[in-house]
Structure 1
C-alpha cells in the first residue's frame, strides 16, 4: 500500500469516528501528522474532492441513512451528523440530495433495513489496483 493510500485509510477512519463532532481539515491533518495542504493533495491524487467536502458528504450520507432507518427527529439526525442548527442541516441536505430531510423521511421512511454505521472497509475500493492513486 502506498503512503497516499495509508493516509487516506487513516483519514477515513478519523472522519468515520467523528461524524457527530466533525474535525476541521487542519485538525484532521494534525492528527495524521501532515499539513492541511498535504492532506488535500493526497485526496486529489486519490481522485476525490477536498477533505472538507468529502467529510461533509460522508456526514450527509449518514444523515440519509438515519432519516431512512431510524425514528430520530430530524433535528436529532442533524445533531448526530455534526450540524449545530436545523436550518444549516436542512440547507446542506437539500444541496446534497435535491430535497429536504422531511421529504427524504416521507418518501423513504423505514423502507428496507439499512446500515446505520460507516466502516472504513466500505472504502476498500479506494485502494484497489484499478483506482487512480
Structure 2
C-alpha cells in the first residue's frame, strides 16, 4: 500500500519527468525556450492540456498520457506562433472590409432616406391638393 509520501513522490516524479521532456523538446526544435510545463492532474477535466501564455498545463494523471499531451501542446504552441501573423492580417482585413461595408450601407440608407422623405412630401402635397380640389 502506498502512503501519502509515496503518492507525493510519484507526483514529483511525473512533474520532473515532464520538465525534462520539455527541455528535450526545446533542444530538438530549437524553439519554445520561454515555455514551462505545469502538471496539474485532473481526471474530471474535459481537457487533457492547454496553453496559457507561455505555460503548458497538463491535466492527464497518467505519465504516458501526460507526455503525449505535453508533446501535443508544445507542437500546438509552435504552430500557433507560425500562423499568428496570418491570423492578425486576416482579422485586420476583415475589420477593414466590415468598416467599408458599413460606410457603404450607411451611404445607401442616407440616399434612400432622402428619396423616401421626398416621396412622402410629394404624397402629402398631392393629398392636400386633392382635398382642396374637392367641391
Same fold (TM over 0.5): no
TM-score by length of 2: 0.29
Which structure shows the bigger proportion of residues in helix conformation? Answer: 2
Q: Which structure has the bigger radius of gyration?
A: 2
Which structure shows the bigger proportion of residues in strand conformation? Answer: 2
Higher RCO (CA 8 Å, separation ≥ 6 residues): 1
